[in-house]
Amino acid sequence: MPTSKPLTIVVAINPSASFGKSREVGPAVVATLRALGHLVTSLTEPDFEQLRDSARRAIAKKPDALVVVGGDGMVSLGVNLLAHTKVPLGIIPSGTGNDMARGLGIPVGNTEAAIGVLVDALARPARAIDAGRIRHLDSETGEETTTWFASVLSAGFDAIVNERANRLRHPRGKSRYLLALVIELARLRPIRYRLVLDGVETVTDAALIAVGNNQSIGGGMRVTPNAVVDDGLFDVLVVTPLSRIAFMRVFPRVFAGTHLTDPRVTVHRATHVRIEAENVAAYADGERVSLLPVDVEIVPGALRVLMP
């Protein structure tokens, strides 16, 4: 591993990521960075909100980097604190999905390799990538607010499955999503959307709309496989209504990103996207944003990242 000058680094750790299966990852990151001589502030808190508050206070001191240890929820925490600042974001994936890390080429499922990538990246200037800015109504206050995302915003069948999984108490782990998928597949029906892409409006029935800065959701489902994080554009996936049988044919192809050849699947490129539909929630970077409508805008170069 190359050595670099001592840096001040904040490491924000989610010990509950991946259902607590990766508790040793955070301490390993902190130990490695300290062994290299960096000045590390290690943050763990009882819950997400307190961690976000501690990280916000630590970032106000302008450290050289914020490293998040966890899944896409932790990426979301980092992106929302760092967008439009000069502080770069490092990611050590230890969550369930880890889609942002996957799309950036950060090793997933190999902590040592991910730490190696981070250490190398700390010795180089960080890379600027685009981020998505969502304008929506806050679910609690009803007031207009802004949420940033770096990977994919989705609003459709996958969000419905997510909502169902969150309402289920059992089973734990990935099988909860599988059960939610089976339940919602049985109830599958088209959603009527109003979609505005760079000022051009369409009203369409669809099963799913996803707005990608990066490529995947749900742990490697490459919904927008051609999205590029620094091209100043979103890839907007629209899947027209599918029968259950057609869904089961198209769905496995999404993992490989080969669904784009299916005539029921379209990808548009746009910088501004408005999505409206009745009673459908938007999820971004795996976290619930709010019910639709949302207005989404790409902000070129808004985020600095430590990546290969």
Ligand X SMILES: Nc1ncnc2c1ncn2[C@@H]1O[C@H](COP(=O)(O)OP(=O)(O)OP(=O)(O)O)[C@@H](O)[C@H]1O
Q: Which is nearer to ligand X, 17 or 197 (CB)?
A: 17
For ligand X, which is the closer residue by CB, 36 or 108? Answer: 108
| Contacting residue, 88, 107, 225, 286, with ligand X by CB under 6 A | 286
Helices (H), the chain: 25-35, 48-59, 72-82, 99-104, 111-122, 157-167, 174-186, 244-256
Is 47 near ligand X (CB under 6 A)? yes
Q: Least distance in Å: CB of 252 to ligand X?
A: 20
- Short-list 140, 153, 272, 139, CA closest to 223: 153
Is residue 90 at the binding interface for ligand X, with CB under 6 A as the rule? Answer: no
Q: Is residue 288 packed enough to be buried (19+ CB in 10 Å), middle (13-18) or exposed (0-12)?
A: middle
Contact region for ligand X (CB under 6 A) — 13-21, 156-164, 249-257, 299-307? 13-21
The answer to the question of residue 103 lying near ligand X (CB under 6 A) is no
Q: Quick one: tokens of 227?
A: 């999205």
Supply 199's token pair: 């000022």
Q: Which stretch binds ligand X (CB under 6 A): 39-47, 149-157, 249-257, 293-301?
A: 39-47
State how far the Cα of 109 lies from the Cα of 18, in Å rounded to an integer.
11
Q: Please give the size of the binding site for ligand X, defined by CB under 6 A.
A: 20
Tell how far CA 123 is from the center of its chain.
Answer: 25
Stretch of 44-52, 118-126, 169-177, 225-233 contacting ligand X, by CB under 6 A: 44-52
The distance of Cα 1 from the centroid of its chain, to the nearest Å, equals: 29
Considering the complex, state which of residue 71 and residue 88 has its C-beta at the smaller distance from ligand X.
Answer: 71
Q: Does 46 engage in binding with ligand X (CB under 6 A)?
A: yes
Tokens representing residue 236 in the block: 């907007």
| Least distance in angstroms from the C-beta of 257 to ligand X | 18
Interaction mask 63-82, ligand X, x per CB under 6 A: -------xxxxx--------
Sign of CA dihedral 243, 244, 248, 253: positive
Q: Which residues bind ligand X (CB under 6 A)?
A: 14-18, 45-48, 51, 70-74, 95-98, 286
